[in-house]
Amino acid sequence: MGDAERGAFELVEVSAPTALPKPPMLPDYQLLPPGFSSRLNAIAPGDVISIVYYEVGVRLFSGGAGSPGGGFDPAAKEQKIGPIEVDQAGLIRLPYTGTVRAAGRTPTELARDIEAALRGKSEDPQVVVSLEAANGSSVIVGGEVVSPGRVRLSGGHEKLLDVITLAGGHRGSTADILFRVNRRDVISEGPLDGLSYSNIGGMPMEPGDRVELLRQVRSYSVLGSPNKVNQYDLPLRRFSLVEALAMAGGPSENLADPAAVFVFRFEQDGEKGGERPVVYHFNMLKPASYFLGQQFYMSNKDVIYIAGAQANQPGKLLQMIGQIFTPIVIARQVAN
């Protein structure tokens, strides 16, 4: 094989821990803008509320003997108004009180504001405000969740993981799910199984946030002389070479050379940027290789090749790798 072909990839003999690639690391999540709402139980623009008035004596909202000029009625009467949607300016308009600011106030605080505005017009008014639909104080959750839709945020300051749980949790394996959070056009995304309350998974959600779970199946292929040639899903973020070989039934007892197990991978090139092709060689006839194989973690789109027993001569070995790997390099270049 010529120098040009030999330079198309890097062959790494994995015979010591120093030859192992770095284990998969969680990405540095994009930080989202800080939250601007410190009162998630407050009414927000777009919310729908209802208001119930209770009056005794001289009343504004009920006709009859207790109405102005009709005498005194000691029995409390109620009048419900609503549903009322809070406009984008955060305001509502009510009879006898006019325009009232609702956004930023809790239902209890808004009720007290309305009572204060009615004093002098109604005798001992009592007001109850209820939140019918928290359209403004909610997060949209979609994608691979059991119950996509709006998730209302309460005073409990729900975190990203909490919101996913309130939407019924995710569907499928966590290793196949990516999360994406959009807050004011800033996006943070990463593997779902990397979330925890100590990182972005513990970030309080804000009204208007959008959370999406995306399915991205990670897989590897086994070729050559295994017991089962196939493409397999990676069930875990950290799935070792030994586990990957076991899933494929291991090398064929009659056809394979256990000393010639190769993993083909495109590694990130930190110096030049982009990717570089690397072939990792394991001699599974050596006991140490089984321990090393447990520390070698599979990556998405890895290819395991188990050579046939006749390919154990060094010259044939390199020629075989070149014949297998060069089309992969060419295909990657064409795809790019």
Between 164 and 336, the higher pLDDT residue = 164
Preceding omega of 83 cis (within 30 degrees of 0): yes
pLDDT in tens, 99-143: 999 988 889 999 999 999 988 887 788 999 998 887 778 899 999
Burial class (CB in 10 A: 0-12, 13-18, 19+), 314: exposed
pLDDT at 132: 87
CA 144 to chain centre: 9
Q: Are 149 and 133 in contact (CB under 8 A)?
A: no
pLDDT in tens, 170-202: 998 888 899 999 998 888 888 888 888 888 888
Q: Are 159 and 204 in contact (CB under 8 A)?
A: yes
pTM of the model: 0.62
pLDDT at 331: 45
Say yes or no: domain 3-23+238-335 is CATH 3.10.560.10: yes
pLDDT at 275: 85
3-state DSSP percent of the chain in helix, strand and coil, to 5: 25, 35, 45
Closest alpha carbon to 150 in 300, 48, 261: 48
pLDDT at 39: 59
DSSP classification of residue 100: E
Kindly report, as residue ranges, where domains of CATH 3.10.560.10 are found in the chain: 3-23+238-335, 138-215
CATH of domain 138-215: 3.10.560.10
Q: Are 273 and 316 in contact (CB under 8 A)?
A: no
pLDDT in tens, 152-167: 887 677 889 999 999 9
pLDDT band at 92 (very low <50, low <70, confident <90, very high): very high
pLDDT at 329: 46
pLDDT at 8: 73
Q: At 175, which amino acid appears?
A: A
Arithmetic mean of pLDDT, 242-264: 92
Class in CATH terms, 48-133: alpha beta
pLDDT band at 268 (very low <50, low <70, confident <90, very high): confident
pLDDT in tens, 205-243: 888 899 999 998 899 999 988 888 899 999 888 899 999
pLDDT at 319: 62
pLDDT surpassing 80 at residue 301? yes
pLDDT in tens, 56-69: 766 677 654 444 44
pLDDT at 40: 59
Q: Are strands 210-215 and 186-191 parallel, antiparallel or unpaired?
A: unpaired
pLDDT at 72: 53
pLDDT surpassing 60 at residue 332? no
Q: Are 158 and 151 in contact (CB under 8 A)?
A: yes
Kindly report, as residue ranges, where domains of CATH 3.30.1950.10 are found in the chain: 48-133
- List, in order, residues 6 or more apart from 280 with CB less than 8 Å away: 12, 14, 19, 21, 262, 263, 265, 296
- List, in order, residues 6 or more apart from 314 with CB less than 8 Å away: none
Q: What CA–CA distance (Å, rounded) separates 202 from 196? A: 6
pLDDT band at 266 (very low <50, low <70, confident <90, very high): very high
User: Coil, helix or strand for 302?
Assistant: strand
pLDDT at 57: 67
Sequence length of the chain is 336
Q: Are 180 and 250 in contact (CB under 8 A)?
A: no
pLDDT surpassing 70 at residue 324? no
Between 232 and 312, the higher pLDDT residue = 232
pLDDT in tens, 2-46: 443 445 788 999 999 999 998 877 666 766 776 555 555 788 888
CA 273 to chain centre: 28
